[in-house]
A and B are shown apart, each in its own frame.
Chain A
């Protein structure tokens, strides 16, 4: 959905095999609603005009009711409602029953990122690449609370429930970039828990699978990884209430670790913290960061470290002055720990 911001979309794009089904269902129900809604409104307006009181406190003729009318306007809505039910259930069935021949992709939701793993082993975060015209089945679970995968352009969504697997399938019909949302409220950064679904031609998808990244500088590539692909930003760039440390201006400084040791924040430190976050926890933080071992390639690690280093432009010269170019003052106070996540 390449929506420019100056456009005001009024109808969502159709990009899956059942998008049109849902849309036709929508039009059908809308037609029924308009029929009844406009009908009643017009009749009320006509009555209001015609029977406007001529005289205060007149007593018009009393009408008790009409059995024929009552049954008519019970039966007609009932029949129409049943027709909606039948059509809706057919669509529901199409959405609900998983095809046997679908390509399976595993999805793990966690506060507040989506992790995908393809059958071929590729992992993605907050981005999902799928080929066009092939049935895809998402097998989903979550590490913490209930989330919900929602791709409006595909007209489908499903809750992702801890402790069990839920499923969702689709077959994309049009290459493009479509929004992915979390639709079940999941806490602090719920609205940030989303990303993009890239639908590609089979050929492009294959070359994506073989894994050549675009030609960006390491810092740009790292920024992209940080903000989008790996979702680091959901914890490390969230303003006052973020769970992870703010990374602006930290590079090159000494830091106190849990247990009393100190460490120099150099490239090696950053690398270790990404791969083995529990190893060097900064005082005042909870060891909640997941490991990214196996999810980042060496190449990506280099880019990430380059990007984080770029957040501290004055690091090389004077590591001891206050905060760097961060948006706020850097205070790694105790109360940050578990700010949003009491018991976990």
Chain B
């Protein structure tokens, strides 16, 4: 049972794959194929990334000068809220799980589809419905509460479309719950014969951990939004103290989800990262079990640290202490991951293809993001830093530096599998480097601004902060170009790119043992797994051609 080459080589041009298996709009909009749903998600998620990015650009331009001269404060407040809501609920949370996860969880474990294809489609419709509500609210005039919807401002004082936006987040939340449910069940029951838990690629482990958070965290924020909306409509006090409520309760309930939500964003990126590091070093990930369990540890401990968002909110000293120590503990598994990735490089055969450039970039940015988290988890330090630009910079390093690098790295890595075509390696590298440089230029000055004490969400700010803000805006423009390029060359590649082999990098993962793009059923025959994950040894069942001259990537 060693050799399971379901098929290899790109000679089956006319063969039916998931892309050409039906061309009607209906065959896309009513598809139950996880791969098509993933592509629908790629389109919608990327669209909202673009929209959120435009809002970010507007913010940075406004912050060029200390006065609020480009926009009124009211407009500025609506823009940063829109930026936050769109980026978090409509981009970052579904970014990797709903796209790459949706596409590759079944492929990586050798399943024909997710366990519940209809629910998968439903979750995309819920996402679009929720996004529609949010966009509708945006067009009516938007929201000005910040994406955190803190009560009582959101329940009583704000005169904007809080309920509609909240409802949008609520509906999108259920889309996320259903995705998580699908993953958990699929990973439990649909693994191919021989695919034991410890043969699973680390992408799967991280998605499993992510799904746990989606299942257990999202409902809490959902009910919180329901309470908030009802309070706003019916004026009964749960959160507003003027009618008997408790505004801190809102913060607890909100962060109980919204802190783990950060791990929903970063864990899948860590999964992609493990794939990239292993496959582009052509080695098994160092300390596989530790990387796998650190994902679970992050998900579990991540549920116990929400209170570090409330160090200055007047919670008790002991609560602050407990949340601080738990936050310190949750830093450890992330550190373990980073060390193991680094150790994986040791004695590897390191490639510098575009996906790996993103992986190096991820490592650098996530290091900064993760380490600056130490400052914020330290209660005594956080008093000075909370609600300043330090925090803004920190979470952008983690969520944009981490998640978006992971997303782009993953998209490039699996592009040939998803589309059957190659992108331009040259432009890929250029954009990866632009993103890295632009990102640091944008957000590094914000650490200094934060320590100087510039509060976040300020439409106008004291003059002494201007120079650093100008640097930040300059960086943002580089970053914008870096994010814009892939849209262009990937779209070009989708239609006109050079046809790709089934396995251009000669990798051992299951997804590389089917055709590119894969057939609707994923595998011609159900694969039987007899090898460990990332097994690059000679007898692992995949033919490894030893022809260094083979040019796999066109270089322009």
Q: Are A85 and B448 in contact (CB under 8 A)?
A: no
**A150 CB within 8 Å of chain B:** yes
Q: Are B378 and A84 in contact (CB under 8 A)?
A: yes
A85 — nearest CB in chain B belongs to which residue? B328
Say yes or no: A40-B338 contact (C-beta < 8 A), given A158-B312, A181-B455, A190-B77.
yes
B150 — nearest CB in chain A belongs to which residue? A146
Q: Are B384 and A51 in contact (CB under 8 A)?
A: no
Q: Are A93 and B317 in contact (CB under 8 A)?
A: yes
A4-35 near B? 1/0 per residue, CB < 8 Å: 01011111100000000110011001001100
With A and B bound together, what is the CA distance between A93 and B461 in angstroms? Answer: 31
Residue in B346, B451, B462, B468 whose CB lies within 8 Å of A26: B451
Residue in B284, B290, B363, B383 whose CB lies within 8 Å of A95: B383
**Set of chain A residues within 8 Å of B317, measured between Cβ atoms:** 92-93, 96-97
Stretch at the interface among A56-64, A126-134, A218-226, A263-271: A56-64
Say yes or no: A191-B457 contact (C-beta < 8 A), given A95-B383, A97-B317.
yes
B336-356 near A? 1/0 per residue, CB < 8 Å: 101110110111111110000
Size bracket of the B interface: 35 or more
With A and B bound together, what is the CA distance between A131 and B96 in angstroms? Answer: 55
Q: Are A155 and B383 in contact (CB under 8 A)?
A: yes
With A and B bound together, what is the CA distance between A111 and B158 in angstroms? Answer: 12
Q: Are A81 and B331 in contact (CB under 8 A)?
A: yes
With A and B bound together, what is the CA distance between A340 and B78 in angstroms? Answer: 12
Q: Are A184 and B387 in contact (CB under 8 A)?
A: yes
**Set of chain A residues within 8 Å of B26, measured between Cβ atoms:** none
How many A-B pairs have beta carbons closer than 8 Å: the answer is: 320
Q: Are A56 and B548 in contact (CB under 8 A)?
A: yes
Say yes or no: A65-B378 contact (C-beta < 8 A), given A40-B342, A53-B351, A183-B455.
no
With A and B bound together, what is the CA distance between A187 and B424 in angstroms? Answer: 46
Residue in A11, A57, A91, A191 whose CB lies within 8 Å of B451: A11
A residues 221-266 near B (Cβ < 8 Å) are 238-241
Stretch at the interface among A113-121, A161-169, A199-207, A209-217: A161-169
B residues 370-400 near A (Cβ < 8 Å) are 371-372, 374-375, 378-381, 383-384, 386-388
In the complex, how many angstroms separate the beta carbon of A1 from the nearest chain B beta carbon? 8
Residue in A10, A64, A97, A240 whose CB lies within 8 Å of B284: A64
Say yes or no: A241-B73 contact (C-beta < 8 A), given A97-B317, A191-B461.
yes
**A152 CB within 8 Å of chain B:** yes
Q: Are B383 and A156 in contact (CB under 8 A)?
A: yes
Q: Are A65 and B371 in contact (CB under 8 A)?
A: no
With A and B bound together, what is the CA distance between A96 and B458 in angstroms? Answer: 27
**A102 CB within 8 Å of chain B:** no
B304-330 near A? 1/0 per residue, CB < 8 Å: 000000011110010011001100110
**Set of chain B residues within 8 Å of A299, measured between Cβ atoms:** none
In the complex, how many angstroms separate the beta carbon of A246 from the nearest chain B beta carbon? 14
Q: Which of B282, B287, B455 has the most CB of A within 10 A?
A: B455
**Set of chain A residues within 8 Å of B461, measured between Cβ atoms:** 191
Stretch at the interface among A71-79, A274-282, A308-316, A324-332: A71-79
Q: Which of A5, A97, A188, A338 has the most CB of B within 10 A?
A: A188
Q: Are A12 and B348 in contact (CB under 8 A)?
A: no
**A171 CB within 8 Å of chain B:** no
Q: Are B350 and A47 in contact (CB under 8 A)?
A: yes
**B487 CB within 8 Å of chain A:** no
A contact set with B: CB distance below 8 Å: 3, 5, 7-12, 21-22, 25-26, 29, 32-33, 36-37, 40-41, 43-44, 47-48, 51-66, 69-70, 73-74, 77-78, 81-82, 84-85, 87-97, 111, 144-146, 148, 150, 152-153, 155-159, 161-164, 166, 179, 181-192, 238-241, 338-344
A-B contacts, 6 of them at CB < 8 A, read A59-B282, A59-B349, A69-B339, A191-B459, A238-B73, A343-B157
The 6 closest A-B pairs by CB, nearest first: A152-B453, A163-B241, A91-B380, A88-B378, A191-B458, A92-B379
Given contacts A51-B347, A58-B546, A92-B379, 8 further A-B contacts (CB under 8 A): A36-B335, A57-B544, A58-B282, A63-B347, A84-B374, A90-B380, A190-B457, A238-B73
